[in-house]
């Protein structure tokens, strides 16, 4: 794999098949064209989001990548498509649709895309089965998961089998904020969720994986967190201090939180050069990966410019753009 790699880029299928399950009132999505290459994602007759053709069109996406200096994207589902609130059979059906759309895009330009698919994590045994199938498919390098499953943090023991299998298979796991806690505390429009709530939600998820013991039991797990891990870099010193001085917290983790954190990966999508330098200092430059959030409104359209603004050396930029993602995705640098 040569050139800059973006590990945080989302896909929405161009269309969804008609719902074929057994529930009368269901949140299965559909698409409604609205002109200029855009489509509404419709859920229960309401517009959830309006997306552009870059969400599913390989040629349009590659034009955007070329403009941003990105050679390869790891394609993952729009997080709302993870569908943890579906009954298991419906979630498996949605995974087939979304993973199929990702596979089609990889097939269209295999040198430019790799897949991070979805699994029905509300049914952990079936999630393991879907993960195994994805990893037998050369188009996928791992999966995307949300920060919680219907309010249950991913550090909960019920999800441990998935992480164990991901470690065994060498699958990359990309964690994205989903349905964050605390939205009722926001004052302003719903868009504030992505700006304010997502960073806090991501920090909770990282902490849950530490205090739940999953990251210590699976030290070879390749796991990355979106938006720079959210607020976790600021939370880490407090967690470290608690581990050192408070016995009930120390008993939760077999090793220091700072040691665990330096095995994890974090994307660069923090919108600020001093903050990006801080991530490199806290976690190490070998733990950072380019993330853009393409093709959504909150994306970083100039990720290489963001690295340059942070003042990183050529060696660090090579780590972040090429060598780190090759290690995370299990591809050749």
For 98-111, give the secondary structure using H, E and C: HHHHHHHHHHHCCC
The pLDDT assigned to 24 comes to: 75
* Phi, psi of 115, rounded to the nearest 5 degrees: -105, 140
pLDDT tens profile 309-329: 999 999 999 999 999 999 999
Buried b (16+ CB within 10 A) or exposed e, 115-126: bbbbbbbbbbeb
pLDDT band at 280 (very low <50, low <70, confident <90, very high): very high
Give the pLDDT score at 1.
54
Sign of CA dihedral 192, 10, 283, 208: positive
Residue scoring higher pLDDT (184 or 113):
113
Average pLDDT over residues 172-188: 94
The Cα diameter of the chain in Å comes to 60
**Is the predicted pLDDT of residue 333 greater than 50, yes or no?**
no
Q: What is the mean pLDDT of residues 244-251?
A: 96
Q: Kindly state the DSSP code that residue 160 receives in the 8-state scheme.
A: H
DSSP per residue over 304-328, as a string? HHHHHHTT--HHHHHIIIIIHHHHH
CB 203 within 8 A of CB 173: no
Long-range CB contact pairs, 14-23, < 8 A, 24+ = 14/39, 14/53, 14/55, 14/56, 14/57, 14/101, 16/97, 17/97, 20/93, 21/87, 21/89, 21/90, 21/93, 23/87, 23/90
Mean pLDDT for the chain?
A: 95
Structural contact between residues 130 and 102, judged by C-beta atoms closer than 8 angstroms: no
CA atoms in the 13 A half-sphere facing the CB of 19? 19
Helices (H), 117-223: 124-136, 160-169, 192, 198-211, 214-217
Strand-pair category, 46-51 with 38-43: antiparallel
Helix axes 124-136, 88-108, angle to 10 degrees: 20
pLDDT for residue 2 is more than 80: no
Other residues' Cβ atoms within 10 Å of the Cβ of residue 77:
27
Please check whether residue 98 is in contact with residue 81, taking contact to mean a CB–CB distance below 8 angstroms: yes
| Confidence at residue 21, expressed as pLDDT on a 0 to 100 scale | 84
pLDDT at residue 187 in the model: 94
- What are the angstrom distances between the C-alpha of 313 and each of 60, 203, 287, 306, 307? 32, 28, 15, 13, 9
| Confidence band, pLDDT 50/70/90 cuts, at residue 188 | very high
Indicate if the pLDDT at residue 85 is higher than 80. Answer: yes
Using CA atoms, how far residue 121 sits from 152, 221, 328, in Å, is 11, 17, 21
pLDDT tens digits, one per residue of 22-68:
887 789 999 999 988 899 999 988 999 999 999 999 999 999 999 99
Residues 6+ apart with CB under 8 A from 184: none
Determine the average pLDDT of the residues in 256-274. Answer: 98
Provide the percentage of residues in the chain whose pLDDT is more than 90. Answer: 91
Q: Is the pLDDT of residue 143 over 90?
A: yes
Question: What pLDDT score does 23 carry?
Answer: 83
Q: What is the dihedral of CA 70, 315, 222, 277, to 10 degrees?
A: -90
Average pLDDT over residues 231-249: 97
């Amino acid at each position: 794999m040569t050139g800059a790699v973006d590990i945080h880029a989302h896909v929405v299928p161009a269309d969804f098949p008609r719902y074929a399950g057994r529930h009368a009132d269901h949140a299965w999505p559909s698409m409604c064209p609205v002109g200029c290459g855009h489509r509404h994602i419709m859920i229960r007759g309401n517009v959830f989001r309006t997306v552009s053709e870059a969400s599913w069109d390989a040629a349009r996406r590659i034009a955007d990548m070329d403009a941003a200096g990105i050679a390869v994207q790891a394609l993952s589902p729009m997080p709302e498509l993870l569908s943890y609130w579906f009954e298991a059979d419906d979630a498996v059906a949605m995974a087939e649709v979304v993973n199929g759309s990702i596979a089609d895009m990889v097939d269209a330009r295999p040198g430019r895309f790799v897949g991070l698919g979805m699994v029905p994590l509300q049914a952990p045994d079936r999630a393991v089965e879907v993960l195994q199938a994805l990893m037998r498919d050369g188009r996928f390098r791992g999966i995307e998961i949300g920060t919680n499953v219907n309010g249950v943090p991913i550090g909960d023991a019920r999800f441990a089998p998935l992480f164990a299998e991901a470690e065994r298979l060498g699958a990359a796991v990309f964690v994205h904020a989903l349905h964050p806690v605390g939205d009722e505390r926001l004052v302003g429009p719903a868009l504030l969720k992505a700006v304010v709530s997502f960073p806090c939600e991501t920090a909770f998820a990282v902490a849950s994986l530490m205090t739940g013991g999953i990251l210590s039991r699976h030290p070879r797990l390749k796991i990355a967190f979106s938006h720079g891990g959210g607020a976790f870099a600021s939370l880490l010193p407090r967690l470290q201090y608690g581990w050192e001085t408070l016995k009930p917290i120390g008993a939760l983790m077999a090793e220091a939180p700072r040691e665990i954190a330096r095995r994890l990966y974090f994307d660069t999508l923090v919108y600020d050069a001093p903050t990006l330098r801080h991530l490199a200092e806290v976690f190490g430059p070998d733990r950072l990966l380019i993330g853009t959030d393409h093709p959504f409104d909150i994306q970083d359209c100039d990720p290489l410019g963001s690295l340059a603004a942070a003042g990183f050396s050529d060696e660090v930029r090579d780590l972040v753009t090429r060598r780190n993602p090759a290690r995370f995705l299990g591809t050749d640098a």
